[in-house]
Amino acid sequence: MRQGAIPNIYLFNPTCEYAVANGNASWHPNKILQKMEADLATLPLYFATENDIIIVPNLPDSEFIERLQSIGIKSPVFATEKELLNKPPEQIGTLNPWGWNPAVHKRFQSLKDNCSSYFKASPVFDWQVQYRELYTKKFALQLLNKIIEKYPSEHFISQEEVSEVCKTRDQIEELLAKWDKLMVKAPWSSSGRGLQPITKQPVHDKVWEKLLGIVKEQGYAIVEAFQNKELDLAFQFRLKNGKIHFQGTSNFTADKKGQYLGNSLNGLPDELDEDVKEFAKEISELIIPALTEEIGKSDLAKKYEGYFGVDTLIFRDKNGTLKVNPCLEINVRYNMGLLSLYLEKLVPENQKGRFRTYYNPKKSFAEFTKQMSHAHPLVIEKDKITSGYFPLTSFSTNTEFGAYLLV
């Protein structure tokens, strides 16, 4: 770290929505999610400078640092939480968890006194109970209804197919009769977790158990018509001093169950149909100003500071016409789509790349990296990855989760 430089501190805690839903400052994720957070702990380094500090459970090895240097990244400082709390920097700029919640505020409490006056004045310096609603999918649904009403477009999802809040089995069954296929979501969840597609009838007892479990645990479920998806787009923004700044558009892929898989870098995938590409461009020009305007007037602009992403869904309706849900979800935190925009700096502008996450309890990320490095040899020119495989996170023999670039 440069002498005299004031560090910002980063922490990877992607389970923040679950912690918000729970509301207890002592909340901890389950074992598999703890493992994910630990294995991917180095990820925030791509947002950081060499003066910043990344909290990790285990310090990455020298090979990982050298790998970063090979693509022109000056490694930030890595520190365990225990080290940091025992000997905190005398001055800290900002605290940057992946996402805010009561539990992370408790973890950071002893560091807050050392933070900059700018950060102390920001709305994220303390947690307030009313912030909880900003993290729910119901908040996104309220914004969706405003956008459809105020910015009517033939390209938007029809009012008849807009998601609904359900608190009972009867309400879900009514929508099943109306839409035939459903996607049911937990109000507080992320990265495709807390989702239950219903594409077959009769609905299995175990599925009803899961759906009613969501309602019991979180108070209600968000129920959507299951759409014939063509493309997932996310618009990335930053809120600072109450003003919204557009950061860019990310294109992500998810599996059939809606679980996040990764992002395309440097534009939409080549194999995508031309009409979908044109539609995506056209609706982006319509949606970005509408989101900026409506979110700028919402509670989010008053009670949050930092990055957030708005997921949208491009789909074909029953007639095969392209439509879009312009505000499917709002991720009030750092997110993988935002990270993909930062990762584009590592790849030449004219090269397409893919950013992917990895999980396999039967094959370690180290073993996967060895195979992929052999199959896709890395080529670096002028600090840019021109082709090949590059692991983005540190790993050891027992690492089950990982993240990588493939160019």
pLDDT in the model for residue 3: 57
Looking at residue 293, its amino acid is E
Give residue 260's pLDDT: 85
Per-residue DSSP letters for 121-183?
Answer: TSTTSS--GGGGGGGSHHHHHHHHHHHHHHS--TTBPPGGGS-EEE-SHHHHHHHHHHHSSEE
Residue with the two structure tokens 């285990």: 58
Give the Cα separation of 268 and 251 in Å (integer): 7
Containing 32, the helix (H) or strand (E) segment is helix 31-39
| E-assigned strand segments in 8-137 | 9-11, 53-55, 77-79, 95-97
Domain boundaries, the chain: 9-127, 134-331, 347-406
CB atoms within 10 A of CB 275: 10
Dump pLDDT digits (tens) for 248-264: 999 998 877 777 889 99
The predicted-structure confidence for 360-374, as pLDDT tens digits, reads as follows: 999 999 999 999 999
Please, which contacts does 172-177 make with residues 24 or more away whose CB atoms are closer than 8 Å?
172/211, 172/221, 172/223, 175/223, 175/225, 176/201, 176/203
Radius of gyration (C-alpha) of the chain in whole angstroms: 21
Please report the pLDDT score of residue 193 as a whole number. 79
Closest CA to 150 of 46, 54, 289, 258: 289
Residue 104 · residue 10 · CB < 8 Å:
no
Cα–Cα separations (whole angstroms), residue 390 to 73, 188, 213, 267: 13, 32, 40, 19
Q: Determine the pLDDT at residue 290.
A: 98
Q: In terms of C-beta density within 10 A (0-12 exposed, 13-18 middle, 19 or more buried), how is residue 394 classed?
A: buried
CATH number of 134-331: 3.30.470.20
Nearest-angstrom CA–CA distance, 356 and 391:
10
Cα(108)–Cα(110) distance, integer angstroms? 6
Q: What is the pLDDT of residue 137?
A: 96
Residue with tokens 């908040």: 139
Q: How is residue 156 written in tokens?
A: 């938007």
Give pLDDT < 70 ranges for the chain.
1-4, 192
Cα torsion 136, 142, 145, 146: sign: negative
N-to-C CA span, the chain: 31
Measured CA to CA, the distance from residue 325 to residue 291 in angstroms comes to: 12
pLDDT at residue 259 in the model: 79
Q: Which of 342, 287, 343 is nearest to 310 (CA)?
A: 287
**302 beta partners:** none
pLDDT of residue 1: 47
SS3 2: coil
Sheet of 228-240: strand order equals 322-331, 306-316, 228-240, 243-254, 260-265, 353-359, 401-406, 389-391
- In terms of Cα–Cα distance, which of 11, 193, 7, 8 is closest to 98? 11
